[in-house]
Structure 1
Amino acid sequence: MIPSHLIGALSALALLAPASAYAASAPLAPPAPAPALDPARSGDFFADLPKGGDLHNHLAGAVTTEFLIELAAGDGLCITTDTTTAVPPPCGAGTRPAADAVTDAVFRQQVIRAWSMQDFPADGNGHDHFFATFGKFGEVPWRHPGRLLAEVAGSAARQNQFYLETMISPASGPARELADRVGFDADLGRMHDKLLAAGGLDAVVRQARADADSTDTEFRAAAHCDTPQPDAACSLPYRWISQVARAGTPQRVFTQMALGMRLAERDPRFVAVNLVQPEDDPVALRDYRLHMRMLNYLKTQYPKAHITLHAGELVPGLVKPEELTFHIREAAQTGRAERIGHGVSVLHEDRWESLMRYMAERRIAVEVPFHSNEQILRVSGDAHPFATYRRHGVPVVLATDDPGVSRIEITDEYRRAAEMYGLGYSELKDLARASLEHSFLPGRGLWNHDVRTGYRPVGACAGERQGAERPGERCARFLKASPKAQVEWRQEAAFQRFEAAHARTTRPGPR
């Protein structure tokens, strides 16, 4: 069954109609080569460009700082004057009402700088400042996850994105309590049994699903989804990725992993798990291989759950040299990651070329947030492995990471790719396609992809004009059976509109 927010996103294309409705539609001829659109000569090219999905997005860090201030003020929270940290009321000595950041321009700028990367890293420690922001505004976002989602999904939809996977920490309190009660057992199978005993883990799963229900309700209200004038957010399919705090105790890490993977097999709104917090944290470094073994075991118990991992968010000088040599390989091979987040340190890995061959052969994608990598690690341009991954056939998708903290949007990531690496329209188009093809939406994707031949539609939709309003009967049946292909089809329709509009403002040419 397709969730209601997915159905809404697809209704304009009538893809859920019976296949017989398309019986009279003969297959269309293959499309002509796309025009060689020139971003530099094409007006609002990057704003208008269809940009696939955002697969690496942390919900709490994705909303703008101004929106967090608005929420904090509305909830009557306070902000400490020494560390600029949001705290619950009442506002006693050493604090100010968060509402002051709405009316006092100087205080507002102080809060914005403390809660985001505005003006950083300008002779400052971008790494430490970035990660410190979450502790400063952390009292704010957990109170209104649905409103945060409406903001983030609305922004994505307005920038011509078609899908969102965003990270949250489901039922974090009950999960911690269960973990601390059970304790750690080095025999992972036995520990998993202890979590399941007497329904302990399933009780946490039920709480997480109830919280997701409340979030969906708040989201639909905030985005006016059930009104005659719904916001753009209502048309955007979204899924949750369960965050695991890698700096926690082993029992907490394992319990959060098990919760996320059990959720992914029991609730279609949840699709995967990911490890968060700084990869260079002392506990995260100490337990790195243990965490990969935990995931390896849990994948045997939950084979349908997906795994995507922050790995290689490191540079020389941040950690000991030996730590740079194995994190990405361990994530891909032992941790069984289907996507790698950041992957910046790949060229420091032992036998990095064989690692890239492994990733290319298994279609393990790398999620690249350019601005985050530059702000945290000071890595950009030729120092970034983006071009190396692509040369070796490793799938690459562009992502935002924490766009609210970074003060950017997905549009900025596509612009940065074009400006830093000289990418043209066809390359940007393929990056957008890759971000949907490597999503964790269910169903087979629309494309057969090969680095030599590019993106070719699957047999059922070969010979069709991709994105056509009324595809042929065989293609329509294929689309109806695959939520992933449905979203990809929507993007292809958007590409057709984009090309028609921008071909008038730029030079034509073969793809």
Structure 2
Amino acid sequence: MKILLSLATALMSVGLASTPLSVRAAEVSVTTPDEVFARVAHDPERLRIFMRNFPKGADLHNHLSGAIYAESMLDWAAKDGLCVSLKDSSVLAKSCPHPAPGQIAARDVSSSESIENQMIDALSMRDFVPTGNDRSGHDHFFATFGRFDALERDHQGDMLAEALDRAASDHITYVELMVSPGLGKMIAAGAHLPLSGDDFTKAHAALLPQIPALVQQARADTDQMEKQAQAVLKCNTAEAHPGCGVAVRYLFQTLRILPPGMVYAQLDAGYATVKADPRFVGVNIVAPEDDPISMRDYDLHMKMFRFLNGVYPGVNLSLHAGELTLGLVPTDGLRHHIRAAIEVAGAKRIGHGVDVASEDNTSDLLAEMARQHVMVEINLTSNDEILGVRGAAHPFSLYRRAGVPMAFSTDDEGVSRGDLTQEYLRAVQTYDLSYSELRQFSRTGLEYAFVPGESLWQDHQIGQTVEACHGIKPAIIPAEGPCASFLKSSEKARLQWSLEMRMLAFENSVTHEVLFQ
């Protein structure tokens, strides 16, 4: 990531230094950032402007396939000459010189307002209203992915470019995107593995000869994705998009709604990919947690992770766990998923964690998470849309009270029609957060990111810098000395220092901004 070199440059990065002079007073009374925030916190429009420009450390829970807006999907379908099914509102994986009955050429969708609206609503959560055939936000949300699946193979780079440009406009320093390159061959490799119960030794031995080729395919697909994205973003040119400046790494995501052998093969090859390619910093497991196969095999999957931790030591895990509610699954299904993800699989981060209050010995679990610094990726919008969990019913305040580290994330911002600013806004307006707390959440995202290197903060005590950088104000990058050497040695610390510079610039700007007086 391009590191800011001066406070003036940082002011430009937060978008306020370029505000026209006509909207600025000659002199503005200087206040603290906390006072400015308190002034705008209950003014929705000014709060949105404030939060849009607020520097956000990281988006750690972001599925690339779900990060794309429906309008982009339809544009790509039109350029590819594909057909659209009006019956099930999906993009079809075939060219469309002569549409069959019930179909339309994707290039013609925009010529009909009603059809275009139908497709956007079907490919996202926009204006979702339950019907007899589309009964829940949960079902509609997960159904969207199958409707645009035909576009994913050829547009991974376009998708990456869109996600990075949106992150830049959201003033995000770093993103960890969940992707699945080469997944089809990994699944196929697991079709006939000798897997008996939780004895994975034979399965690993049988798969081992295929691992190099599977990893090579994953790396080649990632190379192609990044090459395409860089071309779209015009990186390394005078016309480079802002997205070129966002740091990005990947979590290898695997599907858990398949037979055990196929799940195992994905995980084994996914671990191997992380070890072989530094662009990948961890592994996750995805698909609806309430799916019958997910529920039946949950404990088996956690044991797979435990086994592979021994085969490939040092691979980070961020696991979807506890994305469940009472009624969605039997009560017994709510009792241990988060705990198993931590204690059996060894997860360092938990995605969602919505059902924590239904886990056995919740108080002990929360204390363990706080003590072991297991961070929770909070996805307020998707938890509302998929599970109907919002406000006081969400465990956000429970985690907060227990001292469990948390950071806001988008989950599937394109499908949900949002961004990370929306998640911060929702948190402020729902949970009455202070500016100091917002700054802490922003820093927490980078603190628990899997980007390599030592942290700028001592022992997760965010705000207490390591000895090498103690007492140095992050207005510029130090050119020499112990702090300069430390930052040079750690990518994570450099990103954290960059965030501190941007935060300082932002705070200097908003405290002098007429709009916030």
In the superposition, the TM-score normalised over structure 1's length comes to 0.90
Answer yes or no: is the 8 Å Cα contact 1:80–1:96 preserved in 2.
Answer: yes
Aligned mates of 2:154, 2:362 — CA distance in 1: 43
Aligned mates of 2:189, 2:502 — CA distance in 1: 47
Aligned mates of 1:236, 1:291 — CA distance in 2: 33
Give the alignment partner of residue 88 of structure 1, picking from 90, 93, 105: 93
Tell me, yes or no, if structure 1 residue 249 matches structure 2 residue 259: yes
Describe the superposition over 1:254-294 as per-residue Cα deviations: whole angstroms up to 9, x where unpaired: 11111111111110011111111100000000000000000
Tell me, yes or no, if structure 1 residue 411 matches structure 2 residue 430: no
Aligned mates of 2:318, 2:156 — CA distance in 1: 22
Tell me, yes or no, if structure 1 residue 462 matches structure 2 residue 470: yes
Question: For residue 391 of structure 1, what is the aligned residue in structure 2?
Answer: 401
Worse overlay, 34-43 or 174-183? 34-43
Q: CA deviation at 1:442?
A: 0.1
SS in 2 for 1:155: helix
Equivalent positions of 1:97-496 (< 5 A) are: 97-120=105-128, 124-186=135-197, 187-196=199-208, 199-448=209-458, 455-470=463-478, 473-496=481-504
Aligned mates of 2:487, 2:434 — CA distance in 1: 29
Question: For residue 63 of structure 1, what is the aligned residue in structure 2?
Answer: 68
SS in 2 for 1:259: helix
Aligned mates of 1:371, 1:34 — CA distance in 2: 27
Answer yes or no: is the 8 Å Cα contact 1:444–1:482 preserved in 2.
Answer: yes
1:220–1:454 Cα change, 3 Å? closer
SS in 2 for 1:143: coil
Aligned mates of 1:103, 1:456 — CA distance in 2: 57
Describe the superposition over 1:421-480 as per-residue Cα deviations: whole angstroms up to 9, x where unpaired: 100111011100000010010001111366xx7531111111011353336511111110
Describe the superposition over 1:16-68 as per-residue Cα deviations: whole angstroms up to 9, x where unpaired: xxxxxxxxxxxxxxxx9864431426562011100111100000110111111
Aligned mates of 1:245, 1:36 — CA distance in 2: 46
Matching residue's letter, 2:370: A
Aligned mates of 2:497, 2:252 — CA distance in 1: 27
Q: CA deviation at 1:412?
A: 0.4
Matching residue's letter, 1:500: N
Describe the superposition over 1:325-367 as per-residue Cα deviations: whole angstroms up to 9, x where unpaired: 1010011110111100000000000001100111111111000
Question: For residue 20 of structure 1, what is the aligned residue in structure 2?
Answer: none
1:183–1:87 Cα change, 3 Å? farther
Answer yes or no: is the 8 Å Cα contact 2:4–2:498 preserved in 1.
Answer: no
Q: CA deviation at 1:506?
A: 8.5
Answer yes or no: is the 8 Å Cα contact 2:33–2:435 preserved in 1.
Answer: no
Answer yes or no: is the 8 Å Cα contact 1:261–1:306 preserved in 2.
Answer: no
Answer yes or no: is the 8 Å Cα contact 2:468–2:482 preserved in 1.
Answer: yes
SS in 1 for 2:61: coil
1:467–1:443 Cα change, 3 Å? farther
Question: For residue 77 of structure 1, what is the aligned residue in structure 2?
Answer: 82
SS in 2 for 1:139: helix
Matching residue's letter, 1:376: I
Question: For residue 11 of structure 2, what is the aligned residue in structure 1?
Answer: none
1:301–1:57 Cα change, 3 Å? same
Q: CA deviation at 1:179?
A: 1.1
Question: For residue 20 of structure 2, what is the aligned residue in structure 1?
Answer: none
Uncovered stretches (5+) of structure 1, i.e. residues with no partner: 1-5, 15-31
Answer yes or no: is the 8 Å Cα contact 1:178–1:201 preserved in 2.
Answer: no
Describe the superposition over 1:372-400 as per-residue Cα deviations: whole angstroms up to 9, x where unpaired: 00000111111111111011111101000
Q: CA deviation at 1:212?
A: 1.0
Uncovered stretches (5+) of structure 2, i.e. residues with no partner: 8-30
Aligned mates of 2:279, 2:226 — CA distance in 1: 10
Tell me, yes or no, if structure 1 residue 51 matches structure 2 residue 46: no
Aligned mates of 1:177, 1:318 — CA distance in 2: 31
Describe the superposition over 1:284-332 as per-residue Cα deviations: whole angstroms up to 9, x where unpaired: 0000000000000001111121111110000100000010010100111
How many residues end up aligned between the 2 structures?
481
SS in 1 for 2:350: strand
Percent identity between the aligned chains? Answer: 39
Question: For residue 12 of structure 2, what is the aligned residue in structure 1?
Answer: none
Question: For residue 3 of structure 2, what is the aligned residue in structure 1?
Answer: 10
1:34–1:458 Cα change, 3 Å? farther
1:320–1:295 Cα change, 3 Å? same
1:121–1:473 Cα change, 3 Å? farther
Q: CA deviation at 1:507?
A: 12
Matching residue's letter, 2:419: E
Aligned mates of 1:132, 1:381 — CA distance in 2: 25
Q: CA deviation at 1:505?
A: 4.5
Answer yes or no: is the 8 Å Cα contact 2:195–2:202 preserved in 1.
Answer: no
Matching residue's letter, 1:469: I
In the superposition, the TM-score normalised over structure 2's length comes to 0.89
Describe the superposition over 1:89-113 as per-residue Cα deviations: whole angstroms up to 9, x where unpaired: 2432332111122222111100011
Question: For residue 29 of structure 1, what is the aligned residue in structure 2?
Answer: none
1:12–1:468 Cα change, 3 Å? closer
Q: CA deviation at 1:407?
A: 0.5
1:493–1:122 Cα change, 3 Å? farther
Q: CA deviation at 1:167?
A: 0.8
Aligned mates of 1:444, 1:121 — CA distance in 2: 47
1:13–1:446 Cα change, 3 Å? farther
